[in-house]
Structure 1
Amino acid sequence: MKSFDLAEEQMGVRVSIVRGGSSKGLYFLENDLPPAGAMRDAILKKAMGTPDVMQIDGLGGTHLITSKIAIVGPSQRDDADVDYTFAQAEIDRDVIDYSGNCGNISAGVGPFAIDAGLVRPMEPTTVVRIHNTNTGKIVVAHVPVKSGRARVVGSLAIAGVPGTGAEVFMDYSGSIGAKTGKALPTGAANEAINLEDGRSLQVSIVDVANTCVFVRAEDLGLRGDELPDEFNTDVQLVSLMREIRGKAAVRLGFTSEWKNVDQQSPFLPFVVFVAPSANYVTYSGQKTKDEDCDFLARLIFMNRMHEAMAGTGSMCIASASRIEGSVVHAVTQADARNRSTLRIGHPNGVMNVHVEAKPSNSHPEGVVFERLGFPRTARKIMDGTVYIPLETIQNV
């Protein structure tokens, strides 16, 4: 990070705004920021405009899926090309969380690294081995390249993003046990969580790409096709999901008391409620037919419903669909359990992911994953300089 004149009122930091999948974030070169710590966090929060529901004094877009950050630099590992740290900036709380990864933002890392000169471009496809520092796992991006730059134009359409783009295939087969080291951290494909109101819920806790706790929509009195505005304004429902997340977090060792989960583990685990496929209307007003998807899934993170589907969440969902006895396996259409393409119905449409697994007695989850990944598109929107008032960091 370059030095600055203390007589100035603001410092400038290079930044790119990149849409990765159905999320959008600020992408920084690691050398342009201070080392991990309070000063770096202060810069990132000010750049995003956190905390403020409007993020009016920063570059954030007032939604969690547009309040994401990628920090990218040369890798310190021999088996990777770049190191990538994901940061989730809260909106209305003074929080930067590094506990998990974001699959959509990950999709922008390969193209960003190629365009920044961190990876040598190879046509027609450049393979970028990405070490995600949050989880310690390697994610492999297959990036289309033309004339030394990551391609943008293509025919792939993904739900939640207008138009089409060049396909970036993200290989997550190396992300099993991303946070805990095990696909089934508690050793069970399903287990009971007892709620404070006396109810008992059957859930599945799975850790692939990011840690998720799965529950059937019908067990919560839900349809499964709820949309973000309906969920986010229901105080009782949000509180219920926080309790489920908190009690799963206790079992995972992420927090010592479920009521403290927002303070001690604000990002993980995600809560995902699932239901059999059905006709529904998407967040953008489009009609989706039940035959277009294999089941419905709604992902909750930081106590809000994802407007589409988290990339890492889709990988955990896909893995759970192959684990016999899990909540997700139970709602997955029988023919889809053996297909390599799984179709997840989320609030803004259908996401296709690739999963191939075969039975294995040597793995606790009963399967070994041979292929696990998803296609995304990514596009750099802006290169520029974000200005940070020096008073933001002078007292850190």
Structure 2
Amino acid sequence: MDQALYLYHSGLNGDFALLSQPTISTLNITNPESYALFQEDPVAFVARSASLLAQSDDDQTVALNVFWSESRKDVQTTTRSLDDLNSHSGDYVELLDAPLGYFFSSPMYSEDDRLVPLTLVYSDSDKDAITSPFNVADVAALFNDDSVFRDTGSVIGWGAKGSCDLCNLATSETFPSAGGADCPEKCDEGKKCANAIYHVGKDDEMPNTLGGQNFLANMKLAGEVVSSFDSSVEPEFGTKVHVSFEYWCCYTDDELSTIKKVLDDWEWEPQDVSYDRAEVRIDNPNSDGTVSHYSICIFLDEESNNKMLDYVGSIEAAIEAAGVKINSPRKKQEPYHSTLAVVDGRTYPVEEALKKINEMVPPSTWTGVDTKLTLTVPDW
């Protein structure tokens, strides 16, 4: 996806607009000079043409159109047709000769792009519509006013992840996890998945180190932030805190027995790691095709993640030497992380929560300053 999308705002028109740069200055609208970038970096990416979405059929792509209403002073970026839009009044007209871009109608699996939902949220009082990667709760947080926008929004499609300050969520690297956690494909009959996990919170050694104590304390504080937005969310803290070392996807019982023997015979070396920041991964779709399962995760920093990938790579090599092919290498799965909580991403203010978490625990301080968490031996 090669077309960057930017979110603009005009205080004079009371209007948000999702457009490409520098489109806004060339459009035949009122007060074009009043539109300024709401975020300096792109909030999402789409394809310039439907043919560029080679993984999808025509019925799996949607066009993003741009319209203007003089009476409402509203630029609306939407998948709706002009006739459909005007059936609800507004006297909209087309602003572009062609669609702004094309994107997926459903969150399809893609190794190259992490996908994000583009949500259309209406304000009846302001006669405005915002299309962006932000759900209703986060749009309301931008205005600090729940009453301006409707309680529900609609996901109009899925574009590629943006790079703005508030673009912290994306589909998992193994979405749709059809085989189980971090296993992208559904397993053949007679095969199943397994994993190895560092149980940081209930290990005999890890919770008693300085790095372990700092990390568990910060996870508890971050969990309180998560719950402050929705008391029904149950964050992982204390004995529940863990780091998944490896996910083995789609093996027979005999193959899993071979993997277990390699792990039993392995001479485990402690690994010192530190964490970067909180982000969100969208894990898997619901049975009806909607997506709500969003995991708030604390990811290892790049140096620590690369160290862990080197280490797990040596074990994967030993497993293959024992005669079992690695179906889904760890380097193609989610980067190393600790899951803080699972929330309903359709309604939970994920970006607002992430902002507060990353302010409360700045990047690279999760295990303390100049202190690391020592991962010892995972359970399998």
Q: TM-score, normalised by structure 1?
A: 0.27
Q: TM-score, normalised by structure 2?
A: 0.27
Question: Which structure: larger Rg?
Answer: 2
Q: Which has the higher contact order (CA 8 A, sep 6+)?
A: 1
